[in-house]
């Protein structure tokens, strides 16, 4: 293969891109286009494949570009997320998760239809999976539920919303030990099936609404990548559930926050904080994870917890939170009151299971948008390995 089949001169590359040599050099400095010294010269030559890819896209190759160009689902602001232009903080005052699903899916009646069909061996399989935690159990069962409901493969906007509602109902049932046939608002059903006082239903409702979506977090990106291929809402939900179990999210964040919360709920909250602070250990869940100031969702959920959760729990939390704010200036992220709620609901070790019911609504909204508004996208990676070794002199017999 001839050299000029793989490389271009600086002048050729700049001409192909329609830019000046100065701009070409800037592309190289940003590592969008690779170059190497031309043998026997002080000039450089440029990798032709990079030039062609940049020319087609109008910019240097970007391996992440193209999957998600824009979204109309959620806007992130310092005052919290806005679901299709409506404040999630304000929605949490009165809305149900069904209301939010209707807004995010553009399908106000999605939850009005019948419950999904259950396979004849559903009870038997559910019993066999009884030793699994709630979320892994749902991951294992969703393929079975998808198979039992052929209309799940109706990927029209109406069909996607209908099946999305079925998936959310099924997951809520698996989380709470109920049945997908249970009727009534999901937050009420969850509280009832978990054997909790009716007053707890409002905390659950607020949490579900606030947890529904937070734009392109890693789980949502995974869902959108899966949805781009045309999976059903069950498949999209499974993608989110599986991604949420990843070590960098589950082990490094959810479990570490849960352990820290357990420390100040079961021991001296002041010592739980100071023992970590003295030796420079992190204070998980406190630290402006997503917001420059206080997380508005966290503040909204904490307000509900202080009204309905056990007073001793909230007193210990407030002691710990006040000390942390005094020491570091940091307020709790949303995950902290979410974990507190999970513990109040008796979900020790699975504190985020209930909030994930709300999260699934957001996943399905993004999956629906990704499938309906985008063609199948085949991303290209920007190769950064060793380039082929090209002989300085190519004999005629080895040329094309």
Q: Does the pLDDT of residue 17 top 90, yes or no?
A: no
Q: Which two three-digit tokens encode residue 316?
A: 């210990």
In the predicted model, what is the mean pLDDT of the chain?
A: 89
- DSSP SS3 for 353: helix
User: What is the pLDDT, as a whole number, of residue 125?
Assistant: 96
Q: Does the pLDDT of residue 399 top 50, yes or no?
A: no
Percentage, residues of the chain above pLDDT 70: 92
Closest CA to 138 of 356, 338, 367: 356
CATH of domain 3-65: 1.10.1660.10
Sequence-distant (≥ 6) Cβ neighbours of residue 185 within 8 angstroms = 96, 98, 201, 205
User: What is the pLDDT, as a whole number, of residue 284?
Assistant: 95
User: What is the pLDDT, as a whole number, of residue 58?
Assistant: 54
Q: Which two three-digit tokens encode residue 262?
A: 């357990």
According to DSSP, the residues that pair with 7 across neighbouring strands are 47
pLDDT band for position 57 (cuts 50, 70, 90): low
Whole-structure pTM value: 0.81
For residues 91 and 400, the model is more confident at 91
User: What is the pLDDT, as a whole number, of residue 66?
Assistant: 64
- Name the architecture of domain 68-377: Orthogonal Bundle (1.10)
**Residue ranges per domain, the chain?**
3-65, 68-377
User: What is the pLDDT, as a whole number, of residue 19?
Assistant: 80
- DSSP SS3 for 44: strand
pLDDT band for position 34 (cuts 50, 70, 90): confident
In tens, the pLDDT along 168-218 reads 999 999 999 999 999 899 999 999 999 999 999 999 999 999 999 999 999
Q: Does the pLDDT of residue 290 top 90, yes or no?
A: no
Contact indicator for 172, 280 with CB cutoff of 8 Å: no
For residues 374 and 241, the model is more confident at 241
Average pLDDT over residues 293-314: 96
Lowest mean pLDDT among 68-72, 126-130, 350-354, 362-366: 68-72
According to DSSP, the residues that pair with 322 across neighbouring strands are none
Closest CA to 111 of 357, 379, 380: 357
Closest CA to 207 of 188, 223, 191, 187: 187
Average pLDDT over residues 153-163: 96
Q: Does the pLDDT of residue 328 top 90, yes or no?
A: yes
Average pLDDT over residues 59-87: 79
Helix (H) or strand (E) holding 75: strand 74-77
In tens, the pLDDT along 240-258 reads 999 999 998 876 789 999 9
User: What is the pLDDT, as a whole number, of residue 31?
Assistant: 47
């Amino acid at each position: 293969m001839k050299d000029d089949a793989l490389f271009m001169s600086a002048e050729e590359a700049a001409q192909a891109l329609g830019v000046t040599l100065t701009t070409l050099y800037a592309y190289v400095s940003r590592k969008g286009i690779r170059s190497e010294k031309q043998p026997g010269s002080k000039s450089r030559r440029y990798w032709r494949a990079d030039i062609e890819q940049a020319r087609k896209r109008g910019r240097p190759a970007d391996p992440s570009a193209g999957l998600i160009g824009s979204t109309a689902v959620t806007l992130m602001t310092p005052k919290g997320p806005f679901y299709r232009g409506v404040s999630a903080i304000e929605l949490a005052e009165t809305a149900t998760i069904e209301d939010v699903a209707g807004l995010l899916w553009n399908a106000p009646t999605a939850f009005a239809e019948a419950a999904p069909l259950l396979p004849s061996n559903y009870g038997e399989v559910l019993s066999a999976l009884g030793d699994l935690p709630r979320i892994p159990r749902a991951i294992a069962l969703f393929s079975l539920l998808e198979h039992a409901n052929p209309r799940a493969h109706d990927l029209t906007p109406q069909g996607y919303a209908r099946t999305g509602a079925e998936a959310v109902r099924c997951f809520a049932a698996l989380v709470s030990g109920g049945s997908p046939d249970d009727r009534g608002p999901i937050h009420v059903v969850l509280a009832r099936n978990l054997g909790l006082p009716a007053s707890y239903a409002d905390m659950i409702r607020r949490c579900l609404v606030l947890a529904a979506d937070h734009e392109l977090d890693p789980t949502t990106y995974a869902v959108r990548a899966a949805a781009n291929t045309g999976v059903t809402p069950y498949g999209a939900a499974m993608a989110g559930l599986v991604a949420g179990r990843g070590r960098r999210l589950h082990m490094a964040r959810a479990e570490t926050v849960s352990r820290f919360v357990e420390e100040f709920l079961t021991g001296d909250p002041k010592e739980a904080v100071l023992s970590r602070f003295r030796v420079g250990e992190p204070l998980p869940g406190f630290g402006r994870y997503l917001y420059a100031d206080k997380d508005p969702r966290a503040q909204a959920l904490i307000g509900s917890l202080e009204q309905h959760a056990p007073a001793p729990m909230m007193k210990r939390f407030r002691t710990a939170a006040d000390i942390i704010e005094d020491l570091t200036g940091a307020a709790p992220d949303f995950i902290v009151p979410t974990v507190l709620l999970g513990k109040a609901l008796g979900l020790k070790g699975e504190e985020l299971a209930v909030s994930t019911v709300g999260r699934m609504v957001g996943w399905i909204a993004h999956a629906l948008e990704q499938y309906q508004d985008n063609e199948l996208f085949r991303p290209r990676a920007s190769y950064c390995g060793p380039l082929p070794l090209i002989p300085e002199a190519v004999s005629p017999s080895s040329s094309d």
